[in-house]
Chain A
Amino acid sequence: MARITHGIACSHIPALGVASDFDKWEDPYWKPIQEGFAPTQKWEAENLPDVVILVYNDHASAFDMKIIPTFAIGCGESYKPADEGWGPREVPDVEGHPDLAWHIAQSLILDEFDMTIINEMDVDHGLTVPLSMVLGKPAKWPVKVIPLAVNVVTYPPPSGNRCWALGEAIARAVESFDEDLNVQIWGTGGMSHQLQGPRAGLINREWDNMFLDKLSGDTQELRCIPHIEYLRETGSEGIEMVMWLIMRGALGKETRELYRFYHVPASNTAVGHIVLEPVNGDVPPSTTVEGNNAEAQTLIG
């Protein structure tokens, strides 16, 4: 049986990819960030999963305005780093796990999450920067990756509640996969940042840390935050944090924080990072797959 062992959240700021690719970590501007991720890199090397489900958003790389999937899952064999206009990052190709990905895709659709299935695409900094931050610069990525792309660019993005529920459905899907696999789920993007308009540069340290605090324990408060609050409090691009809630939802009822790092700034953005472990990984039963009966309902909440 496959199982979700841990959740990781991590900003995916493109400048971090540049710092990694061009070995700028000793630069005083970047050094605190390198030091902030060093404990995670060490921990991750000792707790390597077989597969990472990596929740991210594409930034006008694989998807343009022609097609805008709300939730898309990569079921391909491998993915190349995208050319985002200045040549592709020189990082290894990303190897997929098509068996588990297709199993999750099928399970989610039966669970009434109507996923878009992607067999071929390039992956941009949204996916490759977190790999660099958590795994460093190996010649080959030591984990397989299932990309899960979320639309957080064109409004409306999915609600936080829907993202959390998708995470719960992913946990059910992983649990019903027969192969013995350790799976981590990563939520990426954020934290507070605004890349546009006269309000650009907005950072909200207090709100970001509230969000980090509430990822732990058994509170479900974060899933109910409306889009307008992200926009007002965390800048127009802070909405990416709904992707962290897919990760959190997949970890079940109660979590414990193993590590946290927060730093301002990297380029225009607040860097946020947390490592979570399930304390009670139970997720509610699927009302669709398992039946919306009284017994199932008593297990919810």
Chain B
Amino acid sequence: MTDKNPCENAGGPIDIHAYLGEFDDIPGTRVYTAKRARQGYHLNQFAMSLMKAENRERWKADERAYLDEWPMTEDQKLAVLARDYNRLLDLGGNIYFLAKVFSTDGLSFLQAVSTMTGMSVEDYQAMMIAGGRSPEGQRSIKEHR
């Protein structure tokens, strides 16, 4: 007697390499994989440290000196200083951790997220009010759908 798996015909066994490989086929998206979690560990933990008011004060007083307390790469530090969030995603940042940086800057999610799209905040907000970005053409790079 085998366990009945309601999903046994849903796509066959999961191959971890195929599973992870598909993530690179999504346009304009960095899935937060183990590889990125390792690469961005100290970057994300730095961002997490801004949850504490006393750390926010020290950070605001001298951003570079604060960053130098963390074993981050120079690229990561420069991208933080530039608030280049797409670059930070490429360097292993996760948006919920990076949110501590833009919240400390006084930006909302909507304001910060819009900077990653190449749109102005106003255009981005107008797009959201009009129903958001359509998934058409945004699902797969290879399949153009």
Check B132 against A264 for contact (C-beta < 8 Å): yes
B104 contacts across to A, CB distance below 8 A: 85
Residues of A33-91 whose CB lies within 8 A of B: 59-61, 64-66, 83-86
Which among A92-100, A177-185, A199-207 touches the partner chain? A199-207
Asked whether A256 is an interface residue with its Cβ less than 8 Å from the other chain, the reply is no
Check B139 against A232 for contact (C-beta < 8 Å): yes
Chain B positions within 8 Å of A, measured between CB atoms, are 1, 3-7, 10-11, 19-20, 22-23, 26-34, 37, 41, 44-45, 47-48, 50-51, 56, 85-86, 89, 94-97, 99-100, 103-104, 108-110, 113-114, 116-118, 124, 127-129, 131-135, 138-140
Closest 9 CB pairs of A and B: A203-B132, A199-B28, A198-B28, A224-B7, A224-B10, A85-B103, A201-B133, A232-B139, A265-B128
A220 contacts across to B, CB distance below 8 A: 6
Closest residue of A by beta carbon distance from B136: A204
Given contacts A85-B99, A200-B114, contact A232 B140 (CB under 8 A): yes
A136 contacts across to B, CB distance below 8 A: none
Check B99 against A268 for contact (C-beta < 8 Å): no
Given the complex of chains A and B, what is the CA–CA distance between A195 and B45 in angstroms? 19
Given contacts A220-B6, A226-B10, A232-B140, contact A198 B118 (CB under 8 A): yes
CB proximity of B7 to chain A, nearest CB, Å? 4
B44 contacts across to A, CB distance below 8 A: 60, 64-65
Complex partner residue of A64 from B1, B22, B33, B45, CB under 8 angstroms: B45
Check A153 against B4 for contact (C-beta < 8 Å): no
Check A268 against B110 for contact (C-beta < 8 Å): yes
What are 11 A-B residue pairs whose CB atoms fall within 8 Å in the complex? A83-B51, A85-B103, A154-B37, A197-B116, A201-B117, A202-B133, A264-B132, A265-B131, A267-B110, A268-B109, A268-B113
Which among A2-10, A19-27, A275-283, A293-301 touches the partner chain? A293-301
Complex partner residue of A201 from B1, B6, B127, CB under 8 angstroms: B127
Asked whether A132 is an interface residue with its Cβ less than 8 Å from the other chain, the reply is no
Further 17 A-B residue pairs, CB within 8 A, beyond A64-B45, A197-B89: A59-B99, A60-B48, A60-B99, A85-B50, A85-B51, A155-B31, A194-B29, A196-B29, A199-B133, A203-B132, A223-B6, A224-B10, A231-B31, A233-B139, A236-B26, A264-B128, A267-B108
Check A202 against B34 for contact (C-beta < 8 Å): no
Interface centre among A84, A154, A197 (most CB of B within 10 A): A197
Complex partner residue of A292 from B1, B19, B31, B113, CB under 8 angstroms: B1
Given contacts A85-B51, A195-B109, A231-B31, contact A200 B117 (CB under 8 A): yes
Given the complex of chains A and B, what is the CA–CA distance between A177 and B88 in angstroms? 48
